[in-house]
Structure 1
Amino acid sequence: MSGLSSDTRKWLEDTGFTVGDEKLWQAALTHGSMGEKDDYERLEFLGDRVLGLSIAHWLYEQSEAPEGKLAQRLNAIVSREMCATVARGIGLADHMRISKQARADGGKDSDNILGDVMESLLGAQFLDNGFKKSRKLVHILWRPALESGAGESKHPKSALQEWAAGNRRKPPEYEVVDRSGPDHAAQFTVRVSVHKVGEATGTANSKGEAEKAAAKKFMEKFG
């Protein structure tokens, strides 16, 4: 495995990472398609936890919201999509080590790969520099997401899904319990339930809108 290029090292340091052990950072940027002994997977596992704890700490310090609301925001901010957004914002794709085939398959713009490598870099930062510096960098890189209110205002079904996950509940289940009126003016009533929590119903002129109404009522009642 060759060392970090001077361009990549400069990019890492300009972004806010502190590079000590070059082999660690090289692994953090290496996709499994390269067939090398060290790739980003183990570091991604670690970085995922560094990110989660850093964001959870920020939310706890900055918000008086109840646990369920904190979990909803946390899930949105540490999501794969958000990690990929941060990765694109810092120009990560240009520095990933990925095979020609994986590149041809769209790997350089894959949310999954970009998100994983973003987390692997946080794992490397943690191992090289400790949690305090890692947390500080997370707060800088994720500041736009933190300040945008990500996870606060969501489609009711998404909010309920995240609320259930954040509270370690089974996913919500939707069921049409009534349909009335002619086809051109049908009315649907949908019941949504979360195991061992409760249920709520919503009525609208389409199944999707009725599900949305039911989810909104459930969150107002239990969220």
Structure 2
Amino acid sequence: MATSSVAGDAVMAFRSVLTRVQQAAERSGRAAEQVRLVAVSKTKPVSLIRQVYEAGHRSFGENYVQEIIEKAPQLPEDIQWHFIGNLQSNKVKALLAGVPNLDTFESVDDQKIANLLDRVVANLGRKPLKVLVQVNTSGEESKSGVDPAGCVELAKHVKLDCPNLVFSGLMTIGMLDYSSTPENFKTLVNCRTEVCKALGIPEEQCELSMGMSNDFEQAIEAGSTNVRIGSTIFGAREYPKKA
């Protein structure tokens, strides 16, 4: 398939997903603008991301440090990048230095990574970085994230002890097949209630990042403010074939 055709398909898919996001937001009793769509472009070329950018989109997500630091400099500076997933300590500086327009780090799952992000942001002289606390709502050992019982403590640490980070909310990753159950969503909603009460902030100021390609409409109806959608927009991910 020609590159232009693939790009056209991605733009059409993006517009379709955006419509579905907006409709789900309205069903949840909110305005469409209250739910952010993060187009997750993992393994996809810069040319494809640019097509979706030119269709008017600005929020994109990546999962691997090497990919995002290679792609970001080739794309417009007004993109608001989200980094999603585990981040090794030795790659924190490379990420923050290599992507000046990194808007949100979605996966703070313990105090160690929060402290390191805080320190590197300060050393680089960056503006404070928005972060989300990752909660393991499914109880799977294979999943990163703080136990729901520990979400208040970690959120407090970020907000009170990390002056170069901005606690912006909570996130969770679905089950292994990238579908979640209502219980997973409800757990994150309950965590937000507890966190906001402990921090004395209104729930509207605490984002809920939950929902991916297979379950984003359900997540939005459950209260998600941030959905991370990759394959439904860009097609199946393209990993290098092993020899």
**TM-score range for the pair, normalised by the shorter chain length:** under 0.3
TM-score (norm 2): 0.21
TM-score by length of 1: 0.22
Q: Give the structure with higher Rg (CA).
A: 1
Higher strand proportion (structure 1 or 2): 2
